Chains A and B, each alone.
Chain A
């Protein structure tokens, strides 16, 4: 297990470093003078020079890169010059919306998708299975932000149960904050749940024809018992893989869905920063997102190792 963990950790660190380098290169070293880029063509040379000094652009790129990484490790993401505040503080404030939203969406999608997938697989060919899979087919095809609009139309406009948008800060009214996250998290979660249900069903159906299920039945278990005791754990392996990949989509989806509900999350911070050409802020936000995605993949890999003993052997092959 330890070599496996070390290998995964090494991969994690390498991916992050490469991601940081790409972000750094794209936004800092490649397109000419960042200060000129930020201020626009009409800026005076003095202003550009002042900004260069402020951004520390006089140092060689490698030195700046190392200093940048070092700073981030200590929580210093630089200063947003459009907002005049530390990037880390700005991001932290927005994460209080985005992170609970992504997490809630993940939990809801698992809580809905897996049981329905299991149900469909156990009743394969039944009316319930056919109906569920047709629903899932639709769910997979729904753009989450559009689904959010539909939810608003139904639950806010017609039924008036929940607010159509906006966000009540946590420290003002935690219940209000939760209420404003309900619709967005369902908008995100339901399409994901459809994917999970499909994957879970396929995995379980595959497992039902596995030789070891036949062995378990030969030992004296019924099909249902054999699938429950031996099948589900095996079927979870492909589901776990999908979950890891889904998280990346979920992060992207969060940023988009925030727009529907006018939530002050990371997404809106990024779009403001893009329109104001605030490179430092964009860069910081991207790094945070990439760390989130990569970290999830690491967790999934480690879980995989925990569930599947075949990966723990010395010659782990993928």
Chain B
């Protein structure tokens, strides 16, 4: 029996993980589909068909400009996912190496990275977005950057914590004795063993990123028309949702759906990966 079989078997018996994974995949599938096909042309304005009801000619109705909500939802999901994913990518690519380096090098370098971390934590994504928007004007790129910058210290912290707990283990010392460089040790011995932690964190940051993108677009700091995102749909609905609640309900529920799916998948993943949590409920007695 290899580790992997074992893993897949356990995963399939973890219902909330399966639900979360399926939900996430369905959402990603719809988003990707929107790149090649949507029920209607995404941003076609058709005043004659404005405020069409649900489940009529248009599955989810139309908005105040007569645009098809289902199509916008699919395309908007793509934007939201892309922004959140790129932001996670920024955090991963910069944060994980920084955290690993801090743990391995230690000393003043580690101190500096920790201080930079503290410093970045003082800037919520929204403030960074305000700064960037003031300088360069609004746009989806701002949202990616702003959320990405906020992700950096998060991943750095996870990577450093994981690496610190491994660094004192004997197999790292054994690798050093075998003549591996710090870089090789980080790649071969540390990274694979913290990968699970990082992946779990990535799912959490992805769901936070989707929420953050929605917030930023809602206040006009993120995606701009003619592009569309889930947050932007809510911004459009802001002034008319009292009369047409479903314009706000549909994108909001979509956000909840994807965030819940991602969180379920992430929680499930953590249960599957972290043996300490998995053993919860079993006796904790040595000898």
Cβ–Cβ contact A146 & B263, under 8 A: no
Chain B residue with the shortest CB-CB distance to A252: B126
Tell which of B122, B133, B234, B255 touches A290, judged by Cβ atoms closer than 8 Å.
B122
How far is B122's CA from A205's CA once the two chains are assembled, in angstroms?
Answer: 30
Chain B residue with the shortest CB-CB distance to A149: B248
Cβ–Cβ contact B126 & A256, under 8 A: yes
How far is B245's CA from A54's CA once the two chains are assembled, in angstroms?
Answer: 49
Stretch in B48-56, B58-66, B113-121, B167-175 with 4+ CB within 8 Å of A: B113-121
Cβ–Cβ contact B260 & A141, under 8 A: yes
Task: Report A4-28 CB contacts with B as 1/0, cut-off 8 Å.
Answer: 0000000100110011000100110
Min CB–CB distance B92 → chain A (angstroms): 20
Stretch in B38-46, B182-190, B195-203, B213-221 with 4+ CB within 8 Å of A: B213-221
Q: With contacts A256-B215, A274-B134 known, is A146 near B248, CB below 8 A? A: yes
Tell which of B127, B211, B234 touches A289, judged by Cβ atoms closer than 8 Å.
B127
Main secondary structure, interface of A, reads helix
How far is B231's CA from A31's CA once the two chains are assembled, in angstroms?
Answer: 29
Residues of B within 8 A of A15 (CB): 115, 118-119, 122
Chain B residue with the shortest CB-CB distance to A296: B122
Cβ–Cβ contact A18 & B242, under 8 A: no
Cβ–Cβ contact A23 & B256, under 8 A: no
Cβ–Cβ contact B219 & A259, under 8 A: yes
Cβ–Cβ contact A164 & B242, under 8 A: yes
A140 proximal to B (CB < 8 A):
yes
Min CB–CB distance B284 → chain A (angstroms): 6
Task: Report A255-289 CB contacts with B as 1/0, cut-off 8 Å.
Answer: 11001100000010011001001010010001001
How far is B164's CA from A129's CA once the two chains are assembled, in angstroms?
Answer: 35
Tell which of A23, A143, A259 touches B214, judged by Cβ atoms closer than 8 Å.
A143
Task: Report A139-173 CB contacts with B as 1/0, cut-off 8 Å.
Answer: 01111111001101100010000001000000000
Residues of A within 8 A of B125 (CB): 252
How far is B111's CA from A11's CA once the two chains are assembled, in angstroms?
Answer: 11
Cβ–Cβ contact A209 & B118, under 8 A: no
B123 proximal to A (CB < 8 A):
yes
Tell which of B122, B211, B234, B264 touches A293, judged by Cβ atoms closer than 8 Å.
B122
**Best-buried of A149, A205, A289 by chain B (most CB within 10 Å):** A149
Within 8 A of B (CB), among A193-225: 205, 209, 211
A245 proximal to B (CB < 8 A):
yes
Min CB–CB distance A244 → chain B (angstroms): 9
Cβ–Cβ contact B119 & A209, under 8 A: no
Min CB–CB distance B81 → chain A (angstroms): 15
Task: Report B7-45 CB contacts with A as 1/0, cut-off 8 Å.
Answer: 000000000000000000000000000000000000000
Residues of B within 8 A of A144 (CB): 215
26 contacts between A and B (CB under 8 A): A14-B115, A15-B122, A26-B135, A30-B135, A31-B135, A140-B263, A141-B211, A141-B256, A141-B259, A141-B260, A142-B252, A143-B215, A146-B251, A149-B234, A149-B237, A153-B245, A209-B284, A211-B284, A245-B121, A252-B124, A252-B127, A256-B219, A267-B219, A277-B134, A286-B131, A293-B121
Given contacts A27-B135, A152-B242, 13 further A-B contacts (CB under 8 A): A140-B263, A141-B263, A145-B214, A149-B234, A205-B280, A252-B124, A256-B218, A274-B130, A279-B134, A290-B122, A293-B121, A294-B122, A297-B121
Q: Which residues of B contact A (CB under 8 A)?
A: 114-115, 118-119, 121-127, 130-131, 133-135, 207, 211, 214-215, 218-220, 231, 234, 237-238, 241-242, 245, 248, 251-252, 255-256, 259-260, 263-264, 280, 284
